[in-house]
Chains A and B, each alone.
Chain A
Amino acid sequence: MHKGHINIDDVTGEMLHRLRFKEHTHTVYSGGFWDRMGVPVPDYPYDAPWVYQVFEDDCPPWVKECKFLFPWLQYAVVTVNKLMPGRFIAPHTDTLYKLTKKVSDQGHSVEDLVPVRINLFLQDRLMGHYFEMDDQTWLDYKKGDYTIIGQNVPHLVANLGYEARFTMQITGYTKPEDIK
């Protein structure tokens, strides 16, 4: 698992809790992951696989500015996820829909580039907070740690604790050799 770190000490808990999330997304179908795997959709309880999200244009300036912490990423879009206790995002692979739409709409050429998603942890890991990718877990992360999620790599996250779990996803294109 790729692991990196950037300094986001100026991001406070208050800033996270003041975020206004515009969407509440149900993840049980995992963007078609189960269909592609050829397995039935798990019988998850309806109330569990939910995540609050705020995307790109609805994000405050401090969120958008985080894109510049990764200058090797081009055409980046940003999302913040808020996972409440007792909720999870079921196993899935990312479709990168908003990124591919942006690149298509704006007519950018992405030849020789690969799409990547940075998962940036906005808090130190708290009790019951869970990150798993390709059957590997990362359970001692600190605020500012990040990993790279490849386009077809299954991953899941969960919050089995007491406090909301905040992460930022910064998605863009890059040359593989530029990934840091």
Chain B
Amino acid sequence: MIKYGHIDNFGITHDQMSQLNFDDYFQCYQQTPAVEQYYTEHNSSIWQMFETSPQWVHDLSKKIPQDFDHHVVSVINIPPGQTIPHHVDKHFKLKQKHNDDGTGVSYRYLIFLEDWKRGHYYEVHDQPFVKWKAGDWVKFGIDDWHIAGNMGEEPFYSCQVTVLKNA
């Protein structure tokens, strides 16, 4: 089930985004033949950081609904012209750290860190989501196919809080 919400008094600034020191630039998952055909390292690569994210990123996990027992965080920067093509998340870091036995249910909170800008795009289950405000979030599950892309001229920043509710 897809859920939408908003963090009040969000307070994250563009300067905080600009100061992020991303250390990992990689090509996105290729989970379907069509993605393999059309999406390459040249048009589907992104910046991401996980545990090395600054404290304000970790603190965002306290501002979403507390419906979980464990979590991990990350920040993504989709540069102009790049797409995260149709995919489902694997929640790999979460499972690696908190879910060795495979029990429980995991979800992802995608938090938009800035107001929507021209050319920034997100879609889950064929439902487009645009014109968001900083602090808006989308909660979706491990089976929910989604897309994000940046056809604009400014970076597209988002935070992922991936959560586990024990069985």
Interface positions of A (Cβ within 8 A of B): 34, 39, 42-49, 84-88, 90-91, 127-128, 130, 132, 135, 137, 139, 154, 156, 158, 160-162
Contacts and interface: CB of A to CB of B under 8 A. Distances in A.
Given A48-B42, A86-B39, A156 B151 contact: yes
Contacts of A45: 42-43, 45, 81-82
B118 A135 contact: yes
A39 B86 CA distance: 31
B39 A128 contact: no
B118 A127 contact: no
Given A48-B43, A130-B151, A137-B128, 8 more contacts: A43-B80, A43-B81, A44-B81, A49-B81, A128-B123, A137-B130, A156-B118, A161-B147
Contacts of B121: 130, 158, 160
Interface centre among A39, A49, A130 (most CB of B within 10 A): A130
The range of chain B's interface size is 20 to 34
Label chain A's interface by main secondary structure: loop
Contacts, number: 94
A91 B152 CA distance: 7
Nearest to B145: A127
Contacts of B141: none
B126 interface: yes
